[in-house]
Amino acid sequence: MRLIVTKDYAAMSRCAARMVAEALASHPAANIAMPTGETPIGFYRELAALHRLGAFDASHLRVFQLDEYLGVAPDDPRAFAGWIARVFLDPLGISPAQVVRLQGEASDLYAACQQYDAAVAAAGGFDIVVLGLGANGHIAFNEPPADRDSPTRVVRLSDETRASNARYWGEQMHVPTHAVTCGMANILAARVKLLLVAGEGKRDILRRVVDVPAIADVPASLLAASDGVTIIAAEAAWPRSVPTIAARSSSSLSSRLECGDH
């Protein structure tokens, strides 16, 4: 696990965008999976800016959707499909033909999940996956507990996740109770994995991600224990009170410079 602690949210966003742009420049036909949520907004803005500057070509990328609400039409503005299109695909000129959707509206959800996993396998797995961290330790919608070899599947959303997503739905009672998520198996097998973490509110869960043995009750801790993972945390999210973490935090200063944040 590589840890990068940046001085603030803007630096976290720039750092992640530079790393992804660099990876895409050397692998223009990469299979990528990208997150929704508040955390990656700045990252997407920076990535689009780098794309406009010609840092990489997005026309050959294959994009896999990470999660979707159940029973929400893809053209519903609250569907993740639309969110990703507005924030990531459209600014980079990525066409719908380049996207493998998770079909939360499918009548046979089991078959839709199997088709998704088959598409990931046929593509040779994910090259790059970028993730946010849920307040309960989820990644994508892999709610705890999540087995490391879990397939793409329907999940019941926890009350905590529904409360946190109520901001998009007006009230928690309107947030769908279920979702479909890319499974842990695909995510953990990705060659490059970035976990973005920002905000004081994520301190406790980030401590559990990096400072306890990997357990299914904290799905992101399974990610942290896997190969090829980099956690980029804005300093406010960093759990400084934990001594072992503080030591690792100072050793990440070189990584901070690596990301160009002086």
- Which residues sit at the interface with ligand PGA, rule CB under 6 A? 37-39, 132-134
Q: In whole angstroms, what is the distance from residue 221 CA to residue 206 CA?
A: 9
Q: CB of residue 142 vs ligand PGA: minimum separation in angstroms?
A: 10
Of 46, 68, 105, 138, the catalytic one is 138
Q: What is the Rg, in whole angstroms, of the alpha carbon atoms belonging to the chain?
A: 17
Place of tokens 């078959």: 111
Of 31, 51, 67, 105, the catalytic one is 67
* CB contact at 8 A, 155 and 143: yes
Q: CB of residue 36 vs ligand PGA: minimum separation in angstroms?
A: 7
Q: CB of residue 39 vs ligand PGA: minimum separation in angstroms?
A: 3
Q: CB of residue 6 vs ligand PGA: minimum separation in angstroms?
A: 16
Q: In whole angstroms, what is the distance from residue 144 CA to residue 215 CA?
A: 9
Of 136, 142, 165, 186, the catalytic one is 136
Place of tokens 């759990």: 239
Minimum CB distance to ligand PGA smaller for 136 or for 249: 136
* CB contact at 8 A, 131 and 35: yes
SS (H, E, C) 153-176: EEEECCHHHHHHHHHHCCCHHHCC
What are the tokens at 26?
Answer: 């050397």
- 258 classed as catalytic: no
Please give the DSSP secondary-structure letter assigned to residue 85: I
Minimum CB distance to ligand PGA smaller for 56 or for 186: 186
- 178 classed as catalytic: no
- 174 classed as catalytic: no
- 227 classed as catalytic: no
Of 31, 51, 143, 186, the catalytic one is 143
Minimum CB distance to ligand PGA smaller for 138 or for 153: 138
Inter-CA distances, 97 with 60, 94, 101, 200, Å:
10, 8, 10, 38
Minimum CB distance to ligand PGA smaller for 56 or for 164: 164
What are the tokens at 192?
Answer: 């490059």
Q: CB of residue 37 vs ligand PGA: minimum separation in angstroms?
A: 3
Minimum CB distance to ligand PGA smaller for 37 or for 125: 37
* Residue nearest to ligand PGA as judged by C-beta position: 37
Would you please indicate which residues are annotated as catalytic (active-site) residues?
67, 136, 138, 143
